[in-house]
């Protein structure tokens, strides 16, 4: 499959050549309507978070990482909940992790059957539980295995494959850069997502955009940039500075799908409180659809702080609302508390 050179030839505009985030681009055979993408987020990027990103303008959304082993061994929750794809969220990429090519091929086939348009392989996760199995960032130590895993995913699924990786394991080791080159040359990948922090940094520290820019210039496949893109201004600057083909929004998009709108030119300002309340309710409804009301209320506890932040108010007011939401027994209680705060009552009288 010669998708590498085909896609590179259509994405060769580089830094300073005036590209816009709103322009379509290609990843192998897929045309992506704009260059703003939801990053993979473990425990978060399920179908409704991805659908939310798409509703607000993302050109593509990537799933939370899913274990190729869990799919291969038919784990029920993995195969039903984590591989659930909503009909309105296409194009969608499902991210897999694993280090065994045969298991990856079989899991990728299942992902294709579930309806994914694209597969992304995680080669950047620094979490010991993942790395000790040889997966995630551990694959940066073994370029041949990394290539075999990527090729197996393409073979098993028949889908285009991308890889998301770090620039190294430790400061200055360059291992991620070497693996990126191998994947582009021999791995058959149609694109690479570069998070230019080394794995030992986890998610802290300044991303090395200068290094990302070098990779963008050098690699023959489209590069998606990840890391530190928390506001529209920073995301636009990094897109310009690196010449990346697309940007991946991660923590900046949590509870803030309006960031997608801002970056694709659908709005300038922040959401009104009414919009935040309406979005919160949409999230509650979607989570109930996904998990049932009881599990949804527990699952959404990590989401609540993100939406509270969007309501404004003082830190004290936000803390009171946060404490109350964390103690709710039902989604309806959470809905009422948030709506009252959103209309000014909760935040005005709290603190
Ligand atoms: C809670 C959380 C979960 C993440 N899960 C994944 C994941 O499943 N797969 C992956 O490749 N990266 C994952 N990442 C990394 C992000 O996709 C992104 O590369 C990183 O957060 C840097 O971007 P940011 O600084 O804009 O947040 C995760 C990050 C966070 C904060």
Judge whether 125 counts as a catalytic residue: yes
- Write out pLDDT tens, residues 296-344: 999 999 999 999 999 988 999 999 999 999 999 999 999 999 999 987 6
Q: Any residues with CB less than 8 A from the CB of 312 and at least 6 apart, and which?
A: 273, 347
Whether the link from the prior residue into 296 is cis, omega within 30° of 0, is no
* Percentage with pLDDT > 90 across the chain: 87
SS3 content of the chain, % helix, strand, coil (to 5): 50, 15, 35
Residue with the nearest Cα to atom 22 of ligand 1? 227
Q: Which residues pair with residue 223 across a beta bridge?
A: 192
For 79-98, write each residue's pLDDT tens digit: 999 999 999 999 999 999 99
Cα–Cα distance for residue pair 58/272, rounded to 1 Å? 20
> Under a CB-based contact definition with an 8 Å cutoff, are residues 287 and 299 in contact?
yes
The single-letter DSSP state of residue 271 is P
Start-to-end C-alpha separation, the chain: 61
Under a CB-based contact definition with an 8 Å cutoff, are residues 163 and 131 in contact? no
Token reading at 149: 């895993």
What integer is the mean pLDDT of 200-228?
93
Model-level pTM?
0.94
For residue 228, the Cα-to-chain-centroid distance in whole angstroms is 13
Per residue in 7-20, pLDDT (tens digit) is: 443 444 455 456 89
In the predicted model, what is the mean pLDDT of residues 203-222?
94
Q: Token pair of 114, please?
A: 């579930």
Q: Which of 125, 276, 287, 334 is catalytic?
A: 125
Do residues 219 and 194 touch, judged by C-beta distance below 8 A?
no
What is the per-residue pLDDT for 4?
33
Which residue in the block uniquely carries the two structure tokens 């620039």? 167
Give pLDDT, residue 343. 75
What 8-state DSSP symbol labels residue 257? T
Ligand 1: which atom is nearest the Cα of residue 120? Answer: 11
Q: Which atom of ligand 1 is nearest the CA belonging to 45?
A: 8
Q: Which of 149, 147, 38 is nearest to 103 (CA)?
A: 149
| Mean pLDDT score, 279-295 | 97
CATH number for domain 3-263, candidates 1.10.287.70, 3.20.20.70, 1.10.510.10, 3.20.20.100? 3.20.20.70
Pick the closest to residue 242 from 10, 33, 5, 21 (CA basis). Answer: 21
**Cα(32) to centroid of ligand 1, in Å?**
21
Residue ranges of the domains in the chain?
3-263, 273-349
Q: pLDDT tier at 252 (50, 70, 90 boundaries)?
A: very high
Q: Which residues pair with 96 in a beta bridge?
A: 66, 121
Q: How far is the CA of 6 from the centre of ligand 1 (A)?
A: 29
Q: Which of 38, 41, 122 to mutate to test the pocket of ligand 1 (most atoms within 8 A of CB)?
A: 41
- Cα distance between residue 118 and residue 278, in whole Å: 31
Q: Which residues contact 266 (CB under 8 A, 6 or more apart)?
A: 56, 57, 260
* Sheet strands (E) in 98-183: 118-123, 161-168
Largest CA distance in the chain: 63
The set of protein residues with a Cβ atom below 6 angstroms from ligand 1 is: 39-42, 64-65, 95, 122, 124-125, 164, 195, 203, 226-230, 250-252
Query: What distance in Å separates the CA atoms of residue 53 and residue 138, rounded to the nearest whole number?
Result: 30
């Amino acid at each position: 499959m010669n998708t590498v050179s085909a896609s590179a030839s259509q994405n060769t505009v580089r830094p300073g050549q005036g590209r816009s985030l709103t322009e379509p681009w290609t990843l192998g055979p897929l045309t992506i309507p704009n260059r703003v993408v939801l990053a993979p987020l473990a425990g978060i990027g399920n179908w409704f978070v991805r659908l939310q990103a798409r509703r607000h303008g993302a050109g593509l959304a990537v799933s939370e990482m899913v274990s190729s082993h869990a799919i291969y061994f038919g784990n029920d929750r993995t195969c039903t909940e984590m591989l659930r794809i909503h009909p309105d969220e296409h194009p969608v990429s499902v991210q897999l992790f694993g280090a065994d090519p045969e298991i990856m091929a079989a899991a990728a086939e299942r992902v294709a059957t579930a309806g994914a348009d694209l597969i992304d392989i995680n080669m950047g996760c620094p979490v010991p539980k993942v790395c000790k199995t040889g997966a995630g960032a551990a694959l940066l130590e073994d370029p041949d295995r990394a290539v075999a895993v990527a090729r197996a995913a393409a073979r098993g699924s028949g889908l285009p494959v991308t890889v998301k990786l770090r620039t190294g394991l430790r400061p200055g080791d360059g291992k991620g850069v070497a693996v990126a080159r191998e994947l582009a040359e021999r791995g058959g990948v149609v694109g690479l997502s570069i998070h230019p922090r080394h794995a030992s940094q986890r998610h802290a520290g300044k991303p090395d955009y200068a290094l990302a820019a070098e990779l963008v210039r050098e690699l023959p496949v489209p590069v998606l940039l990840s890391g530190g893109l928390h506001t529209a201004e920073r995301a636009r600057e990094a897109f310009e500075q690196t010449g990346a083909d697309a940007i991946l929004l991660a923590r900046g998009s949590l509870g803030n799908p309006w960031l997608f709108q801002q970056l694709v030119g659908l709005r300038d300002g922040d959401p009104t409180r009414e919009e935040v309340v309406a979005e919160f309710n949409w999230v509650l409804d979607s989570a109930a659809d996904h998990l049932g009301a009881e599990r949804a209320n527990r699952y959404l506890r990590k989401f609540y702080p993100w939406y509270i932040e969007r309501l404004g108010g003082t830190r004290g007011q936000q803390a009171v609302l946060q404490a109350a939401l964390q103690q709710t027994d039902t989604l309806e209680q959470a809905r009422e508390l948030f709506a009252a705060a959103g209309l000014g009552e909760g935040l005005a009288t709290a603190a």
